[in-house]
Amino acid sequence: MRIATFNVNGIASRLDLLLEWLAESKPDVACLQELKSPDARLPVDAIRRAGYGIVGFGQPSWNGVAILARGREPIETGRGVPGLEADPQSRYIEAVVDGVIIGCLYLPNGNPRPGPKFDYKLRWFESFNDHAKKLFGCGMPVVLAGDYNVVPTDADIYNPASWRNDALLQPESRAAFTQLIGQGWTDAVRACYPDRVPYTFWTYWRNRYQRDAGLRIDHLLLNAEAAPMLLGAGVDRNVRGRPGASDHAPAWIELAIGND
DNA sequence: ATGCCATCAGCATGATGA
């Protein structure tokens, strides 16, 4: 069972690239972020024609998350993070696919810092961690996949010095991620690449992709039930190099579940 | 210190992203 996470940076303007990637990578589950689309304008028909069921949580212009399942309908188990019921931003959706709980998240960026946006990031992170702790011990395999907007360590970025003041590298952001991992979660891509992790994001500026001047901010975390099923992981790096691409590349894991 | 490049909304340019 292949589970992927992909920040599409606008699903309407990149639908063809999304469908192309689905056809070639064939993830069984795809967690999408930054749809930048209201629910009514999600390209549900095109995604269904491509063979995927979908549950989506959009909003106009910004944010937005969705879970796709190949040949199946994801069973939605929640949207929005508990404790943040008044959150006006669509950043979390959760579903069950083939007995696996899939949490799809788009954690706030947090820039500029300091300021209300960074405060919002930390508040959101804290509530998410509370929810993650409950999920960890629920007894089912759980995968938390998405754009965490955190560079966990200096090994996860080409040059930490030039990003030192960014919200993605702040000690508070990293401490929240470390606290999450401390609940027992396995960072699947890290586990499969102990020496040199692949990046998942390259800004559009200054040929950063061509220079592989990237950041690793898209993560897939596994609870104790899911971690023993991990067969492999990777990043579809070439997707980022296509004309009109998102600034993120898809990251994925392979779990020993199902018949595919 | 700032812009880089790109989205959306909406039709010129601002808010936003990371």
Tens of pLDDT, residues A16-60? 999 999 999 999 999 999 999 999 999 999 999 999 999 999 999
pLDDT at A188 over 80: yes
Mean pLDDT of A4-18: 95
pLDDT band at A6 (very low <50, low <70, confident <90, very high): very high
Helices (H), A106-223: 116-136, 171-182, 188-192
Q: Which residue has the tokens 């600034």?
A: A247
Query: ∠A75-A80-A82 over CA atoms, to 5°?
Result: 105
Q: What's the Å distance between residue A82 CA and nucleotide B3 C1'?
A: 39
> What is the reported pLDDT for A206?
84
Taking the C1' atom of every nucleotide in all shown strands and the CA of A7, the nearest one is: B17
Q: Which residues contact A33 (CB under 8 A, 6 or more apart)?
A: A5, A6, A7, A8, A63, A64, A65, A104, A105, A106, A146, A147
pLDDT at A259 over 80: no
Q: What's the Å distance between residue A112 CA and nucleotide B12 C1'?
A: 25
Q: Which residues contact A122 (CB under 8 A, 6 or more apart)?
A: A110, A172, A173, A176
Taking the C1' atom of every nucleotide in all shown strands and the CA of A38, the nearest one is: B8
pLDDT band at A207 (very low <50, low <70, confident <90, very high): confident
> What is the reported pLDDT for A85?
84
Do the beta carbons of residue A1 and residue A220 sit within 8 Å? no
Integer Cα distance of A124 and A127 in angstroms? 5
Mean pLDDT of A154-158: 94
> What is the reported pLDDT for A202?
95
Token output for A95: 């579903």
Protein residues in reach of strand B (CB < 7 A):
A 7, 9-10, 12-13, 34, 36-38, 60-63, 108-109, 111-112, 117, 147, 149, 166-168, 201, 203-206, 215, 217, 244, 247
Integer Cα distance of A105 and A16 in angstroms? 23
Mean pLDDT of A221-242: 97
pLDDT at A8 over 70: yes
Integer Cα distance of A31 and A26 in angstroms? 13
pTM: predicted TM-score of the whole model, two decimal places = 0.96
> What is the reported pLDDT for A260?
54
Mean pLDDT of A90-117: 95
Instruction: Name A77's bridge partners.
Output: none
pLDDT band at A91 (very low <50, low <70, confident <90, very high): very high
